[in-house]
Amino acid sequence: MSVALVLVSHSPRLADGLAELTAQMAPDVVVRCAAGDVDGGLGTSLDRVQEAVEAALARTDSVVVLADLGSAVLVVESVLELDPDLPPRVRMVSAPFVEGAVAAAVSAQQGADLDGVAAAAEDAARSIGPEPVYQVVEAAGTGSPPIAGTWAQGEVVPEPGAPSSGAADEVSATVEIRNALGLHARPAAVVARAAADLGVPVTIEGADATSVLALMSLGTTAGQRVTVTARGDGAQGAVALVSGLIEGGFGEA
């Protein structure tokens, strides 16, 4: 199943720029813009949104719609209400416009279905924010067992089921970032697509290697050394592939 994106914005220049950005990271994903009012000025247009959605559906199975501001959201909702056949194939998501579009495009490029692409967009804000800190519920000396996920006194306790470092099936390698701008948008997207195809859990400095936003949020720079880690069957090959991409400099070094 292929998923397209429709970008609904008050500004044609904003939507066009974002479409250009997503095309660099997800070249096979269909992206359509519905931006500006009927005269091409700042604003939104129900007709433009309808046309963009129809054009996207003509080439793909389903569509994820992102809107930049409140009135754009209302226009999209109106379009979906006017045509009852659209909701099963068209999903408007509540997500940051730029980060959500990037995450959705990369997820669609990786072959995710409508639910997966929508979830990637909606998860974008969390992906670039700080990870929560988990600590034991009871203070030391109470005799109660620690419960993960609650703030209290005591040592940090990982979430249940979280992989532990140093596992027998874990493979790691340390490589040097060669790109002048580090793992910025395009290199991060290349790594994310490659990692998703591997089918093996891979991280870079603890960040999910299949998430372009997580990789970009590392803020890596040229000369920095990062650790690539994979677990499970195929871990050795996964680390070798991702490490090779980074050391190769993505044609920018």
| SS3 of residue 127 by DSSP | helix
Out of 4, 8, 10, 95, the active site residue is: 10
Q: List, in order, residues 6 or more apart from 47 with CB less than 8 Å away.
A: 38
Residue with tokens 């997580």: 214
- Enumerate residues 6+ apart whose C-beta is below 8 A from 58: none
Helix (H) or strand (E) holding 194: helix 185-198
E-strand stretches of 84-216? 90-92, 170-176, 202-204, 207-208
Catalytic residue list contains 10: yes
Q: What are phi and psi of 213, to 5 degrees?
A: -70, -40
195 token code pair: 């990692």
DSSP E strands in the chain: the ranges are 3-9, 31-35, 62-67, 90-92, 170-176, 202-204, 207-208, 225-231
Active site members? 10
